[in-house]
Structure 1
Amino acid sequence: MSRVHDMGGRYGDGAVDPSDSATFAQDWHARAMALTLAAGALGQWNIDVSRHAREALSPKDYSRFTYYEKWLAAMADMLVHQGVVTPEELSTGHATGVSDLASRALKADAVAGVLAKGSPYQRTDAEPAAFRPGDTVRTRRPARNVMVTGGHTRLPSYAAGMPGQVVLRHGAHVLPDANAHGQGESPEPLYAVAFSARDLWGDEASVQDEVILDLWQSYLEPA
């Protein structure tokens, strides 16, 4: 059974509307983004942990929540899980005391710098690259985390078991499958891999189209 968040390539969800270029469709969306940034600055989780938290929402909630509602629900779960707030504080909206993390509060004048800095995930210590541009590879099947049962992975199910061609080597990057679950960064070579749209979507796709995915070395094998 595919997980509810792994929606790529599904039929019946409607077309993407490229004309919707609004940064925030509603005012509270900007507030949700700000809260997420401020909570992340506390240093209690990384981006892979936060992605897994959104994916771990109950299927019923994931299906009915909007994009930023997913962000807020996952953030609430992480705040409680990490002991940053208690369930009582979360439900009442009032702190029972001064947090030990108060000194890490993200100030308004620091936001631009934090956003500009980002979170670089490129590393130098990793196993040697097994592939080079031009190599034909195949993704593993099924598309799942082989380190943690039910864990986070960046390999979408629509690309599982599919042949592709390496077009670029990005160097070594933190492996999300490990980093999302407290198992260290485990950096691996990362590749841009091109797939025929027809291989992925069938005869309805144009023979001229391709999809390029960034995939870690452990997701791939020689074809």
Structure 2
Amino acid sequence: MSRPHDMGGRYGDGPVIPEAEGKVFHADWHARALAVTLAAGAHGKWNIDVSRHARECLAPMDYARFSYYEKWIAALADLLVAIDLVSARELSRGDADATPRARATLQARDVSAVLAKGGPADRPSDIAATFKTGDAVRTRRIAANTLVDGGHTRLPRYAAGAVGRVVRFHGTHVLPDRSAHGLGEGAEPLYGVAFAASELWAHPEHPRDEVVLDLWQSYLAPA
């Protein structure tokens, strides 16, 4: 399937309708879905790139019909089984075996601090920054992960081969293409790159609008 990250500008999905500010959760179980996802992640068995890739790996029909938090829960269930924190039998029964697999537990009193801290992805790197603010760059013509066939990447297909300009240098950050697949962090320079809507899509509603993508140096070449 084309990855969920590739959906920008796709025909047939309808307009994006912004929600009114102030309402965080639309159902009680949404808050519980966030809580259990955070608690499971606190075991330290995966990182954010692994979790994103798990959502991308959901069956295409499921991804299309699931709501936002249903995607989270479905991908979390897959991860828990894959790393043997929960068995498929436990999931089907709805209760846990007598012997716990997890050794670490996120306490309720620690949740606020964990949320505030987040998971910083900036790392030192021996790779020097090639580009500076204002430089014209072109993304790779093939957007796919070059290290793992069908693997995770943050370069969307709709921006493949597009020309933009660097608007910000973020420093050096973990490369998701490696991190999501246990290949190490591979930190490299990360840039904010602005693309005109007319560069990304053949018939944009507002051609002078811009889309800013955060892209790693290995995705880019001088334009």
Whether these two folds match at TM > 0.5 is yes
SS in 1 for 2:182: coil
CA RMSD of aligned residues (A): 1.4
Q: Distance in 2 between matches of 1:183 and 1:163?
A: 29
Q: Distance in 1 between matches of 2:32 and 2:89?
A: 22
> Percent identity among equivalent residues?
61
Q: Distance in 2 between matches of 1:34 and 1:61?
A: 22
SS in 2 for 1:95: coil
- In structure 2, give the amino acid aligned to 1:19: E
Q: Distance in 2 between matches of 1:4 and 1:191?
A: 22
Q: Indicate conservation of the 8 Å contact 1:139/1:219, yes or no.
A: yes
Counterpart for residue 7 of structure 2: 7
Q: Indicate conservation of the 8 Å contact 1:4/1:59, yes or no.
A: no
- In structure 2, give the amino acid aligned to 1:34: A
Q: Indicate conservation of the 8 Å contact 2:49/2:176, yes or no.
A: yes
Q: Distance in 1 between matches of 2:4 and 2:166?
A: 29
Q: Which runs of 4+ in 1 moved over 4 A?
A: none
Deviations 1:98-125 (A, max 9, x none): 32424x1111100001001100000112
Q: Indicate conservation of the 8 Å contact 2:165/2:195, yes or no.
A: yes
- Are 2:91 and 1:78 aligned? no
Q: Distance in 1 between matches of 2:204 and 2:114?
A: 43
- Are 2:152 and 1:155 aligned? no
- Are 2:48 and 1:44 aligned? no
Counterpart for residue 57 of structure 2: 56
Q: 5 Å matches for 1:1-223?
A: 2-3=2-3, 6-21=6-21, 22-102=23-103, 104-223=104-223
Deviations 1:115-158 (A, max 9, x none): 01100000112300111111111000221100000000011111
**Residue ranges of structure 2 left out of the alignment (5+ in a row):** none
Q: Indicate conservation of the 8 Å contact 1:125/1:187, yes or no.
A: yes
SS in 2 for 1:123: coil
SS in 2 for 1:169: strand
In the TM superposition, residue 77 of structure 1 has moved relative to its aligned partner by: 0.4
SS in 2 for 1:24: coil
Q: Distance in 1 between matches of 2:65 and 2:107?
A: 33
Residue range with higher mean Cα deviation, 20-29 or 38-47: 20-29
In the TM superposition, residue 176 of structure 1 has moved relative to its aligned partner by: 0.3
Q: Indicate conservation of the 8 Å contact 1:4/1:63, yes or no.
A: no
Q: Distance in 2 between matches of 1:54 and 1:115?
A: 21
Q: Indicate conservation of the 8 Å contact 1:193/1:214, yes or no.
A: yes
**Residue ranges of structure 1 left out of the alignment (5+ in a row):** none
State the TM-score, normalizing by the size of structure 1.
Answer: 0.95
- In structure 1, give the amino acid aligned to 2:68: Y
Given the superposition, is the C-alpha separation of residues 5 and 212 from structure 1 closer, same or farther in structure 2, using an over 3 Å criterion?
A: closer
State the TM-score, normalizing by the size of structure 2.
Answer: 0.95
Q: Distance in 1 between matches of 2:64 and 2:46?
A: 25
- In structure 1, give the amino acid aligned to 2:24: T
Given the superposition, is the C-alpha separation of residues 133 and 4 from structure 1 closer, same or farther in structure 2, using an over 3 Å criterion?
A: closer
SS in 2 for 1:44: coil
Residue range with higher mean Cα deviation, 179-188 or 22-31: 22-31
Q: Indicate conservation of the 8 Å contact 2:5/2:154, yes or no.
A: no
